[in-house]
Amino acid sequence: MKEEQKTKSIYCYGEVLWDIFPEGARTGGAPFNVAYNLMRMGIDSHMISRVGNDKLGTDLMKQLREWNISTEDSQIDTQYPTGTVIAHIDEHNEAHYDIIKPVAWDFIEFRNDYTEKIKNASAFVFGSLITRNETSRNTLFELLEIAQFKVFDINIRPPHYSIPVINELLHKTDLVKMNKAELRLVLEFLGKNYISEDDAVHFIQDKFDIKEVLVSKGSKGALYYDGNTKYDAPAVPVTIQDTVGSGDSFLAGFLSKRIIGADPVEIMNQATALGAFITSQKGACPDYDLIDFELFKKEKIQDKKI
């Protein structure tokens, strides 16, 4: 691993929880899935969240420590339980969720010791779900005033979002990541007709002064807009096990190269490869080593150009 890469840290803020599937429970939460895959990529990743003072919370914190993800920035709630989501996969391998509320991660409090950590981090990752409750929402806005590179993974989960809050968050964002459906939804929120991907993205860039926009499109690949320059990355073909966490791993792959200054082609190759690799496994946080991914990437991508 490059020495330069070891020194980079990324903080992910928001929900960490148990996804309850018919076959059993798995760790979950979009920002946590990003943190997990960043760790697998060799990045020093941290999670700011909150769990209950219960067995589910104890088990979750134990799992994070076993995975080498620091728990020192997470909080214990004595009133509310650890977050759970009732999940199922439909016949198209798409996940659907019943997100229980209120739970511990709805009540993340600001701590003074976060200030220096967030200020020195290479990136700060957050989503919209964490804003459903005032406490965690207020903490997020305090952290956004400190963070140097703010990455908004919109991750809209109806009915757990507010259009005015999403609007405000976009104004504070340096890089926004969304899927094609979320791109259309954001335009709808703003009263703008969808004409094309380029038109939609440029509209969002101009309105919110966001230089970098990522659009994931599943089997149709992904787009990265860096100012006026667009990079179009085809999907990496795989046999799908499930799609849970594929967008999160895509973002983790992107950030793992973005923060070390790799060129956009290398960044997007990493992003699409990791998204595909996780989709070919079971669950959002499968057990793998960096070498497993590198071999997969070498076989699938080789000298592919964007």
Residue 62 lies in a domain: no
Residue 242: what pLDDT?
A: 78
Residue 299 lies in a domain: no
Q: Is the pLDDT reported for residue 43 higher than 60? A: yes
Residue 6: what pLDDT?
A: 46
DSSP assignment of 55-124 equals HHHHHHHHHHHHTT-B-TT-EEESSSPPEEEEEEE-TTS-EEEEE-SS-GGGGPPP-TTHHHHHHH-SEE
Residue 7: what pLDDT?
A: 67
Report the C-alpha gap between 67 and 76 in whole angstroms: 19
Domain count along the chain: 1
- How many residues are given for the chain? 306
Residue 20 lies in a domain: no
Residue 242 lies in a domain: yes
Residue 191: what pLDDT?
A: 95
Question: From the CA atom positions of the chain, what is the Rg in Å?
Answer: 18
Q: For residue 108, give the amino acid letter.
A: I
Q: What percent of the chain has pLDDT over 70?
A: 95
Give the model's confidence band at 4: pLDDT under 50 very low, under 70 low, under 90 confident, else very high: very low
- Output the six-digit token pair for 101: 């509320």
What CATH number did the domain enclosing 186 receive? 3.40.1190.20
Residue 217 lies in a domain: yes
Give buried/exposed letters for 251-264 (b at 16+ CB in 10 A, else e): bbbbbbbbbbeeeb
Using DSSP's 3-state secondary structure scheme, residue 92 falls into coil
What's the Cα-to-Cα distance from 252 to each of 46, 86, 228, 270, rounded to whole Å? Answer: 13, 24, 23, 9
Residue 63 lies in a domain: no
pTM for this model (two decimals): 0.93
Give the model's confidence band at 149: pLDDT under 50 very low, under 70 low, under 90 confident, else very high: very high
Cis peptide before 102 (omega within 30 of 0): yes
Domain enclosing residue 169, as ranges? 30-49+110-293
Per-residue pLDDT of 232-274, as tens digits, reads: 999 998 888 878 789 999 999 999 999 999 999 999 999 999 9
Judge whether 256 and 268 are in contact, CB under 8 Å.
no
Residue 164 lies in a domain: yes
Question: Considering only CA atoms, which of 15, 73, 75 is closest in space to residue 46?
Answer: 73
Give the model's confidence band at 5: pLDDT under 50 very low, under 70 low, under 90 confident, else very high: very low
Residue 269 lies in a domain: yes
